[in-house]
Structure 1
C-alpha cells in the first residue's frame, strides 16, 4: 500500500460490521483472564523479592537511589543505576575524597606489619585451655549447621554482663534475624564515608549483609531516630576517643544523623585524626579524638641489635591518661572510650615513669623483661575508667566499648587472610578476642564495684563483642579499594577484615549505644 493507504488493525476491524465491538470485547475478556491468572504470582513474587535478606541487586539499587525523608536535596543522587556506588570511575560529589588521602596514612598504622604480631608467650596456658573449649564448641556448631547462616547463634562470651545495672531487657543476649528494611543511609546519601569503608562504591555487589538486625531475646532494639535524638541532645555534646574502629563507629553515627541535618565541620586536625562537627540547628557537637591506647604514649626511635635496624617503638605509660582527649572533654555529656588491637604491637610499658617490661622484646636493649601486653592492658582499662571520673570540668557519662573482633580466615592480614562470607555466623571466637573481652569486663566490674553513689552511674559498658563476632560478613575484605569489575578483578590487594563497611553491622553499635543510654540521652 502506498503512503496514506495503510490501515491499522483497528481500522480493519471497524470496517467489518460489529467486528470492532466483538474484537474489543474479546480482548477485554482475554486481558481480564490473564490478569486474574497471573496477579497472585506477581504479588507473591514481589513480596518475597523485597523481604528476602539477600534482596536482588536491582531492588537495592532502587532503594539506595532514593534520598531518605528530610535529607537535603543538594546531596541527593541522580537516577542513574550506578549511583549506588557513587560513580565507580572514582569521582565523588561528597567530602570523602578530600579526607581519604590523609586518613589512609592514619589507617595504615592499624595494619602495620607489627600490628598483630604476637609473642608465643602471650597465650598462656589458662587462656588457651579456656578458649580451646569454647572454640571447639563453636566449631562443632558451625560444622553441624546446614549453611553458614547462623542467625540464632548467641556467643555469651562472659557471664559478667548481667552484673551491671539490671534493665527490663538484656540488649546483649539475642541473635541476628532477617530484616527487610533498607539501611538508614547509603553511600549516596552520606558524604562522610571513608574510601576504604565505602564497600559499595568500591565494587561490592552482594547486599544481603545489609538486611539483618540484632534482635534481643526479650525485646526489640530500635533504630536511632535522628530527629528525636538530636532534639534530646540539643545544647549538648558527645565524643569518641580511640583508634580507627572508634572513628568507624563515629562516622556511622554521623551518617545516620546527617539524614536530617547536615553538620558543620568546625575542626579538622592537620593529620585528620581529630575532627569536630556541629549540628547548628540543635547546637549538638559530635567529636572524634585519635588515641589508640587512651593513655600517654611516647614514640621513640630504637636501634635493634639483632639486625641494626631503627624502628619506632611505643613507650606506653599505663597510669597516665592521654591529654589528646582528656584536655578536650570538659563539658562533654557523653564520652565513649575504646582501645584494642594496638596493644598487639611491640611496646615498652611504664608505670610511675619506670619500665615494667615490654611486649616482643627481641633485640632492643631498652626492653629488659618480656611481660606481654595483658597485664599492662588490664591496668590501662582500670586507669581510664577511674581517671575519667576525676577529670576537671567533666561530669558526663563514660562508656567503655568492648573489644571489636576481626574475622580473617585462611591466614592473617598480611599472608592471605580474607573475609568473604555474605551472611552471619560461621567464624568461632578466637582465644585472643575472648581474652581481651574478659579483661575489659573484669576491670569494668572491679571499678564499678569499688565506686559508689552517682559516680557509679557515670561509668557504663557498651558490649558489642558478642554481636560483632557473628558478623564476619560485614567487613570490606578486598573492597577496601576500588574494584571496577568486582568478580573479574584479579589484582592482589590487602584484605580488610577488621574495619566495617558503611552502611553495615557497625550501625547497630550506635543503636545499642543510644538505647543503652536512654536515661542519659533522653533525660528531662
Structure 2
C-alpha cells in the first residue's frame, strides 16, 4: 500500500484511473506467477516424495480404536517409517532372531507396515509407552515365539532410554528374564512356560522335542511368578503340535503313571486349569490380560505356488493373496482358545485375544530360515539341503513381531488411560 501511495503522488491526477488499472494488472500478474510457482513446487514435491504412511501420530488417538478390527487388513511396503529400530542398535537380539548377524543380506522383510482395512494403527512412540506404563510390570508368558515378541518389545523401548538407565537380568533359579527401564520404573519380563502348566519342557534349553508330558493340575509352580503384575501376555500353541500327550497322574518322580490323550483334549484341559487360576488369583481391576493367537509356520511352499519340498528358505516377498491360509495353522486349537476365553468372560474376566494369525499367514519372507544360531552343529547332509534346517517358525528382528506389539500396545494404552 505504501508503494501505491508513492506512485499516485508522482503521476498526474488525470492518470490516477489508468495507473490503478496498471497496478491492478501488475498485482494480478505477480499473484498468477506466485500461484504457478507454488503449484510447480507442490507438483515437484509429489513427484519426489511419497505420501505419508497411513498411521496415527498422536497417541491420544488410541481412544479412537474402539470398534475397529485391527486384525483384518493388508501389508503395505513402507521403507520410510520401518523398521522401527536397527538390529545392530539393539543388543538384546541374539540367537534365532538375529538374522542380519547370521548372514541375511536382504532387508525388504523389515519394511512392511500392517494396515487395517477400517482404521489406522497408532504410530508407536517409545517414550509415550514408557510414560503410560510408568511404575508398572509387563510379563510375557509362553514359548519361544512369545520370547520373540518380548525381545521385540524390549528393542522398541530400549532405544529411547538413556544409557545407564536400563538393565537386563536373569532371575536366579526361575525361568524369568527381566528388562528394567530404571528411569520409568517399568519392568518388561519374559517367563518360559511353553505349556503353561508343569511339563517336561520347563527348562528353557534342556528339553525333549519329540515327547510331551504335562502335569495338568500343577500350574502354581509357574503361575506364582505371574502375580502382582499390570499386563499379562500369554501364548501357548507351538508345543501343542503333537498327536498325543502324556497326562501325569502323579509327580514327575513317579512318571510311569499317566494317561495318553490327543493334543486338542490336552490343550482344552490345560486352558481350563489356566482359566481357573486366572479367575481366582489375579486382581482384574489392576491387571490387563491378553492371549496372543497362533502364528503361521511356512513349511509347505507348494501352498503358495512353489515346487518340490520348498519352504520359507530363500523367500524374500510376502504372499499377496487375500485370506491366504497355510495348512500348519490348526483352527481347532483356535476354537478351543476362543471357547476358554468366552467362558472366562461370562465370569466377568476379560482376556483379550490378540488375533495375529491371519496377518502372519502372508509373511513367508520374514522367518530366519537358515540365518540364525543353531544349538548344535549342522550335519553335512543338512548343509547340502538348506531347506531341511530352515527355521520357518520364528521371526527375524526387526520384523513382524514389532507389528504384534504395535497392536498389543493399542489395547494396553487404551486400558491405561
Q: Is TM (by shorter chain) over 0.5?
A: yes
The SS at the match of 1:175 is: strand
| Contact 1:291 1:322 (8 Å CA) reproduced | no
User: How much does 1:379 deviate?
Assistant: 2.2
* Gap change, CA 1:374 and 1:517, over 3 Å in 2: same
RMSD over aligned CA atoms reads 3.7
Which of the numbers 341, 345, 366 marks the counterpart of 2:238? 341
The SS at the match of 1:215 is: strand
* Gap change, CA 1:509 and 1:322, over 3 Å in 2: farther
CA distance in 2, matches of 1:398, 1:431: 27
User: How much does 1:289 deviate?
Assistant: 0.6
1:104 is matched with: none
User: How much does 1:214 deviate?
Assistant: 1.1
Instruction: Report the TM-score when normalising by structure 1.
Output: 0.57
* Gap change, CA 1:392 and 1:407, over 3 Å in 2: closer
CA distance in 2, matches of 1:496, 1:329: 30
Q: 1:475-505, CA deviations, whole angstroms, 9 ceiling, x for partnerless residues? A: 01111259xxxxxxx7545211100000001
Q: Does 1:329 align with 2:226?
A: yes
| Contact 2:247 2:259 (8 Å CA) reproduced | no
Q: 1:2-34, CA deviations, whole angstroms, 9 ceiling, x for partnerless residues? A: xxxxxxxxxxxxxxxxxxxxxxxxxxxxxxxxx
2:78 is matched with: 179
Which of the numbers 411, 421, 424 marks the counterpart of 2:315? 421
2:344 is matched with: 447
Report 1:404-483 matches (<5 A).
Answer: 404-410=295-301, 417-425=311-319, 428-430=325-327, 432-448=329-345, 450-452=346-348, 456-457=349-350, 459-481=351-373
User: How much does 1:410 deviate?
Assistant: 4.6
2:190 is matched with: 288
CA distance in 2, matches of 1:311, 1:407: 19
CA distance in 2, matches of 1:385, 1:462: 17
Instruction: For structure 1, list consecutive stretches of 5 or more residues without a partner in the other structure.
Output: 1-38, 53-165, 301-309, 356-363, 483-489
| Contact 2:138 2:187 (8 Å CA) reproduced | yes
| Contact 1:234 1:284 (8 Å CA) reproduced | yes
User: How much does 1:510 deviate?
Assistant: 0.3
Q: 1:425-459, CA deviations, whole angstroms, 9 ceiling, x for partnerless residues? A: 166321643232222223222321x212xxx24x2
User: How much does 1:374 deviate?
Assistant: 0.4
* Gap change, CA 1:283 and 1:368, over 3 Å in 2: closer
Q: Does 1:515 align with 2:410?
A: yes
* Gap change, CA 1:351 and 1:451, over 3 Å in 2: farther
| Contact 2:245 2:262 (8 Å CA) reproduced | no
Which of the numbers 362, 380, 398 marks the counterpart of 1:503? 398
* Gap change, CA 1:341 and 1:312, over 3 Å in 2: closer
Instruction: For structure 2, list consecutive stretches of 5 or more residues without a partner in the other structure.
Output: 1-40, 54-64, 203-207, 303-308, 375-382
* Gap change, CA 1:269 and 1:313, over 3 Å in 2: farther
Number of residues of Structure 1 aligned to a counterpart in Structure 2:
337
Q: 1:331-362, CA deviations, whole angstroms, 9 ceiling, x for partnerless residues? A: 2100101111111247644387599xxxxxxx
The SS at the match of 1:286 is: strand
CA distance in 1, matches of 2:77, 2:413: 25
Report 1:112-191 matches (<5 A).
Answer: 167-180=66-79, 181-191=81-91
